[in-house]
Amino acid sequence: MSESGETTTHFGFREVPIGEKKKLVGEVFSSVAGKYDLMNDLMSLGAHRVWKRYFVATSGVKRGDRVLDLAGGTGDIAALMHERVGDSGEVVLGDINAAMLGVGRDRLTDRGLVRGLRYVQLNAEALPFSDGKGPDGGFDLVTIAFGLRNVTDKPAALREMRRVLKPGGRALVLEFSQVKQEWFRPIYDFHSFKVLPGLGKLFANDADSYRYLAESIRKHPAQEELQALMVEAGFERCSHRNLSGGIVAIHSGYAV
């Protein structure tokens, strides 16, 4: 049961018992892990690479920083952050799904990225780190890119992100959001619910997982609602920035 007393939650457009969602999401990402980057290219027509680079470029991360990348998956964000923190910094790539974590670790290792990288299988709702002043907490930046919408208890995950940050540290969330232009919404819906499952069937032999991914975007809190959740989680100076007309948004908050 959640803190609000609810016993069910959404898995895409389905209502499922809260305890079942982690298992169902795990099955989705175990299924798509090997084709995840290919499908991201197909889903976004390659735009996800531009969004991620902009996300990191505007993160304010600097040499020597400690970064925790949650739902780090195949390592895109971790690799970009690693370039910026340098040999004196550290990037911890965390993911709840062992298959996704393994793909990320193998990919970065094959690129020769070893020093200053650590991999932890974890649940974003209960991070295995001490608080911001503890010996293994104290991150300068915590990020989660295209992962928060799959978390069962989003307020809990946001509170955990806040807890492990150093005073003055920053949390950044990159996530699909609510398209702002009314005229574009029918086109976006057609791509999401007709084209995307078809691509999933064709390239990954898995239409259902990609149908879930499209549905999960629609169930994710819109920009203003997510910003309010960050305020409730204890972040200060919260803001958001829309990219590509609100297809995605970057949310920011500071630990003070």
Strand partners of residue 251: 173, 240
Least confident of 21-30, 52-61, 126-135, 148-157: 21-30
* Tens of pLDDT, residues 150-201: 898 999 999 999 999 999 999 999 999 999 999 999 998 898 888 888 888 8
In this predicted structure, what is the pLDDT of residue 38? 75
In this predicted structure, what is the pLDDT of residue 243? 96
Average pLDDT over every residue of 62-91: 95
Helices and strands in the chain, H and E counts: 10, 9
**Contact partners, residue 5, CB within 8 Å, separation at least 6:** none
pLDDT band at 1 (very low <50, low <70, confident <90, very high): very low
Average pLDDT over every residue of 93-118: 92
Average pLDDT over every residue of 203-223: 83
In this predicted structure, what is the pLDDT of residue 218? 87
Q: SS3 for 92?
A: strand
In this predicted structure, what is the pLDDT of residue 213? 80
In this predicted structure, what is the pLDDT of residue 2? 46
Average pLDDT over every residue of 110-117: 93
In this predicted structure, what is the pLDDT of residue 40? 77
Instruction: Give the H/E segment covering residue 176.
Output: strand 165-176
Please, what sign has the CA dihedral across residues 215, 216, 221, 227? negative
Question: Against a cut of 0.85, is the pTM above it?
Answer: yes
CATH number at residue 181: 3.40.50.150
What domain range is 42 assigned to? 24-254
The verdict on residue 236 lying in a domain is yes
Which residue intervals of the chain are DSSP H helices?
Answer: 18-32, 36-44, 47-57, 76-85, 98-110, 154-163, 185-190, 196-204, 207-219, 223-232
Average pLDDT over every residue of 11-26: 71
In this predicted structure, what is the pLDDT of residue 12? 65
The verdict on residue 164 lying in a domain is yes
Least confident of 69-83, 104-118, 186-200: 186-200
Q: SS3 for 3?
A: coil
User: Domains in the chain: how many in total?
Assistant: 1
The verdict on residue 228 lying in a domain is yes
Cα 142 from Cα 172, distance rounded (Å) = 6
Highest mean pLDDT among 21-25, 33-37, 66-70, 218-222: 66-70
The verdict on residue 165 lying in a domain is yes
Average pLDDT over every residue of 29-40: 72
Average pLDDT over every residue of 75-80: 95
The verdict on residue 1 lying in a domain is no
The verdict on residue 113 lying in a domain is yes
Cα 173 from Cα 141, distance rounded (Å) = 11
pLDDT at position 142 over 80: yes
Cα 105 from Cα 74, distance rounded (Å) = 7
